[in-house]
Each structure stands twice: as C-alpha cells, then as structure tokens.
Amino acid sequence: MKKNFINSVHVEGHVYEHKLEEKVTGPNSKKPGTPFISGVLNVATDDKMLNVVPIHFTYVTAVTSKGAPNATYNTLKAIIDGKIGNVMEHGAENAGRVRIDTAIALNEWFDSRTEGNPLISVKRNEGGFVHQLSMGEVFNPDETQRCSFDTDMLITKAVRKEPNDEKGTPERVILSGYIFDFRKQVLPVEFTVLKPGAMDYFEALEPSEKNPFFTRVKGEEISQTIVREITEESAFGDAIVRQTRSSYRDFIVTWATNAPYDWDDESSLLATELQDMLAQRQVYLAETKKRQDEYRASRENALASNTTTPTASTTPAKGGYDF
C-alpha cells in the first residue's frame, strides 16, 4: 500500500461569511474544559464573489498536539471577533483574504425522514490550515486554481450523461469510485468530467468494480448559487419575469496523470487491502447508525416525558363568539 494517499484542496479568496463558534469540551471528553472552535468558514474564490466555498472545522484547539500555538485557531478566532472582516458584514473592500489547505471528506448521516433510512453522503472540505494573506500577497490570477483539488482515485465507473436543458446541465461523464483520507479510510465519491477529450478518455477505460482504474486526478471545485430568470407570458398586458435560485456544487476533473498506478500491486493498493477498508467502512456506518438511532430515541423519550395532558376547554356560552 502507498505510504500516503493524495487528498488535498487548495482554497484562496475573501472571507465571505462564517458560522464559527467558540466552544469548550465537556466533562466526559478526553480533555475536559478545552476551548476549541468549530463550524463553517465560507470563502469567495472569484473576483465577482459568486463562487463561495465552505470549509468545515470540527475541532480546532489553541495549541497543536505538540504543544505549539495553533495559527489556524488564532486566525479563526480573529474572524469570529471581527478583527478579520467578511464580505457580508463589512463589505468586499474590508473583507480579510485567506489561503486554506484542506481535504475532501464526507458528511454522512442516515435520513430518518425517508422510508428505509437511506445513507446520505455529502462531500465537504474538512479541516486544514488557514493563513491570512499579507498586504503583499496576491491571489492566483487563474480563478479556477483558487479552489482546486488533487486526489488519488480508484475509479470503478464512468457513465456519460446527456445534456438536460431544463436543469441547465451539459453533457458530462460521472466518475464513481473511492478516494482516501489521511487515516487511509475509504471514501466513496463522484466527480464530474466536462471536457470532451477527458470524457472520451475515461469512458474508453470501461472501469468497473472488478476492473478498477487507479490514478491521480486534479480539478476545480465549484460552489455557486445559480439565478435563472423565467418569463411568464400574460393573456393581456406585460409578461412577468421571475427569478429562481438553485445551489450548484460540484468537483470538476480537469486533469489526470499520464502515469496511472498499478492496481492490485503492493506499490499502490492491493485488492485485499481495499476489501479490508470497505469492511471497516461498514463497521463505521453501523456505529454511526446506532449512535443516530440512540440519539433520536433519547430525544423522543425526553419529549414524551415533558408532554402534559391538556386540560379540558370550556365551551363558550351561546353568543359569546367573536367573529
């Protein structure tokens, strides 16, 4: 197996807004009473402030595991305190400029509101290092490189999709497969391919679960709100123009190495090693579902215990209604 799997995301831009919070660990944690920051930092990576990319932080402490001051904590704290401004509160001209090196992870839960409790897996940028840019530092002139990803990917499927004019989606190829985090845990993902030559390349590989293709891919992360205008003609008078908004988030593959890895090889990844990873993932999912079910049950019990029997209402006298 490879010593390290590639999984990195580079983000640079203006601080757009945030939902960061300062918290303290509880008495039953490994380190009770430890201050930490968690939440989401949104960064606008283009000059028009349209591509707003979220980065999620679960647990950022003031000191690192080695006892050194944590620069990322200090930067996030400055954003919370307003010392580093953001676009939504302070305007683009006063917003802080940051550079973040993070990684692709999965936010996963079982949807209890849908029959069968299906697993929901959403790609997100998780953790990493946050640096405030100095006055002399400038953004990459290529906006597509201001939010770029670089991963090793074991591709198990490449499916071409026809364009959809109603949804505004072009012809594309969807790559399905696995990437890996720093713990070497397997993460099922889908990426999109839009370039004609790249679509032909991946489709011709005919990857499958039995014959996967292990390679390194790079691309651009897009996170935008799409505004579409719809004109509704009237039987008389002027037509009405209304706007609809929809979120569009995708990982677009724009590059693949010309030296792919050897599959089922000790230098890259053995099939047996992948099987072990997938088995560990099933254990993780089972534990996740158990915790979620226990939490939901505890909430339902708490609500039930707090429910009081309503007192009988008195019927108002005839004529006492106030219509």
- pLDDT higher than threshold 50 for residue 276: yes
- pLDDT higher than threshold 90 for residue 58: yes
**Mean pLDDT lowest among 134-143, 219-228, 311-320:** 311-320
Residue type at position 159 = V
pLDDT in tens, 17-46: 999 999 999 888 888 999 999 999 999 999
Instruction: Please answer whether residues 40 and 55 qualify as being in contact, where contact means their C-beta atoms are separated by less than 8 angstroms.
Output: yes
- pLDDT higher than threshold 60 for residue 315: no
pLDDT in tens, 79-106: 999 999 999 999 999 999 999 999 999 9
pLDDT in tens, 196-212: 999 999 999 999 999 99
Longest dimension (CA), the chain: 88
pLDDT confidence bin for 12, thresholds 50/70/90: very high
The DSSP secondary structure of 104-156, one letter per residue, reads EEEEEEE-TTSTT--EEEEEEEEEEEEEEPPTT----SSGGGSEEEEEEEEEE
The residue that leads in pLDDT, 230 or 1, is 1
- pLDDT higher than threshold 50 for residue 322: no
Give dist(CA 3, CA 323) in Å, integer: 77
> What are the angstrom distances between the C-alpha of 49 and each of 14, 87, 125, 144, 224?
8, 9, 19, 13, 9
Give pLDDT, residue 311: 53
- What size, in residues, is the chain? 323
Tokens found for residue 268:
């890259």
The residue that leads in pLDDT, 224 or 61, is 61
Give dist(CA 157, CA 175) in Å, integer: 6
**Mean pLDDT lowest among 110-114, 123-127, 256-260, 311-315:** 311-315
List of domains in the chain: 7-273 (2.40.50.140)
Instruction: Please answer whether residues 218 and 6 qualify as being in contact, where contact means their C-beta atoms are separated by less than 8 angstroms.
Output: no
The residue that leads in pLDDT, 167 or 296, is 296
Of 272, 155, 141, nearest to 207 (Cα)? 155
Instruction: Please answer whether residues 171 and 145 qualify as being in contact, where contact means their C-beta atoms are separated by less than 8 angstroms.
Output: no
pLDDT confidence bin for 184, thresholds 50/70/90: very high
Give pLDDT, residue 235: 74
Give pLDDT, residue 234: 73
Give pLDDT, residue 43: 96
Give pLDDT, residue 174: 96
- pLDDT higher than threshold 60 for residue 310: no
Give dist(CA 172, CA 222) in Å, integer: 15
pTM summary value: 0.83
CA torsion, ordered 173, 177, 179, 183, to nearest 10 deg: 160
**Mean pLDDT lowest among 9-13, 109-113, 206-210, 241-245:** 241-245
In the predicted model, what is the mean pLDDT of the chain? 88
Give pLDDT, residue 163: 87
- pLDDT higher than threshold 50 for residue 298: yes
Q: Give the count of beta carbons closer than 10 Å to the beta carbon of residue 116.
A: 7
Give pLDDT, residue 238: 77
Give dist(CA 278, CA 276) in Å, integer: 5
The residue that leads in pLDDT, 270 or 320, is 270
Across 274-301, average pLDDT: 88
Q: Cα 200–202–208 angle (5° rounding)?
A: 135
- pLDDT higher than threshold 70 for residue 314: no
Across 242-261, average pLDDT: 85
